[in-house]
Amino acid sequence: MAAPKAFADCETNIPDYEYTDVNTKVFHIGSFRNEWLSRLNPEDVSYEQEDEDAFDANFAKDMGIGAETMSELKSVCSIDSLRCHPEDQPPDMEVVPPDPTLKTLIQRKKRQDYKATLKRTKNRHDLYANELERSTLGRTPETVSDMVPEGEIILTINVYYPATYDKFTYVRPHATLLMMGSHSLAKLRDAICCVRDLQVCGEFSNNPDMAPDFVSKDHYKSAFFFFEGVFYNDMRFPECQDISMTTIEWAKSRNFPPYSQAKMEDTQFVDLKVKVGFPYLYCHQGDCEHLVIITDVRLVHKNDCLDKKLYPLLTHKHRIVIQKCAVCHLFISRWLTTNDQFAPSHPCLYCDKCFRMLHYDDQGSKLGDFLAYPYVDPGAFN
């Protein structure tokens, strides 16, 4: 991602590392795209496959070699010359020889062996961790109008989850999304799955059936992103509030540099000024704070997923260990109780069935003293 030093010194909208391998200096994403488009030839950006003769001619010219050397190179480097089987036998593509010497086969054998161990020891999530990415690579849409335009910007964005665990393990749970430069920040917000949006607040031990169906996201719609001194508020719905105002006023009264506001639904990524690799903030449900790090900004490539409808494209999702019911150890937890005389621990998690069987009689009357809160497991999004 780093720009050549000569460019970085004289240009402003090319990512230049502020701290090596950590983050770049601030630059404007739209101008960055324009810088690339003005420097590249149209065929570099195009999805069209260059015809082979033209490619060879250009390659020979770029490398400063003659036609004869070129054709010799082509035959020596041809994949037909890579073989580990007798010439008269058709190879079985699936079989890797037991002791390969070819580097590619050594790597492939490693991969196969690794997969075999995974199958024995790991679960389906680990097994298919790369599946998300593989299934969309090079995908093209059914209709041309759904095609990601040539020259579009693709951003790689990591969204981190608040570390609320007692044990901090250095594993920082996050999801990775690919987004287009023309996406608004509101699109990013909608693509972030956080369990806090699903939680229902309240104590319902006297009548568990009264626990409302609505989830927090339906009620508390305010949220903001914070990039480079600007709060981008979600103002799409009448009940949205500008929750950045408190911070802005606070900063003003203490002579901090001024912060400003904008609407996330009116802001596209190409409008933003950012540092690649720098931690920014997404805040929702009042105090649920996620770090957001843009790890890459680049032009779209013909091997990318080119179906607009599949963006924002999830390429990585951290799997969270599901908290099973403390009684049956079988089902996902739906209730959390405290001051519960029946509970093996405080607080305690139950599935819906065990919770009701243990705490209510046939008529649905509450047995004993306890407090009960609806619980949504963070693993609900796995």
Which residues of this protein are in contact with Zn ion, per CB under 5 A? 194, 196, 288, 325, 327-328, 331, 351, 354
Q: How far is the CB of 23 from Zn ion (least distance, A)?
A: 23
Nearer residue to Zn ion within complex by CB, 272 or 288? 288
Nearer residue to Zn ion within complex by CB, 327 or 343? 327
Hey, what amino acid is at 139?
R
Q: How far is the CB of 360 from Zn ion (least distance, A)?
A: 14
Are the C-beta atoms of 206 and 175 separated by less than 8 Å? Answer: no
Nearer residue to Zn ion within complex by CB, 194 or 292? 194
Nearer residue to Zn ion within complex by CB, 183 or 290? 290
Nearer residue to Zn ion within complex by CB, 292 or 354? 354
Nearest to 266 by CA among 228, 309, 234, 313: 234
Nearer residue to Zn ion within complex by CB, 63 or 321? 321
Are the C-beta atoms of 379 and 332 separated by less than 8 Å? Answer: yes
Total number of residues shown for the chain = 382
Q: How far is the CB of 245 from Zn ion (least distance, A)?
A: 20
Cα–Cα distance measured from residue 83 to residue 93, given in angstroms and rounded to the nearest whole number? 11
Q: Extract the tokens encoding 269.
A: 């990524």
Nearer residue to Zn ion within complex by CB, 54 or 328? 328
* Residue reference for tokens 């950590």: 22
Q: Extract the tokens encoding 52.
A: 């082979």
Nearest to 182 by CA among 290, 314, 300, 25: 300
Q: Which residues pair with 208 in a beta bridge?
A: none
Nearer residue to Zn ion within complex by CB, 245 or 328? 328
Nearer residue to Zn ion within complex by CB, 36 or 375? 375
Cα–Cα distance measured from residue 86 to residue 82, given in angstroms and rounded to the nearest whole number? 11
Nearer residue to Zn ion within complex by CB, 305 or 349? 349
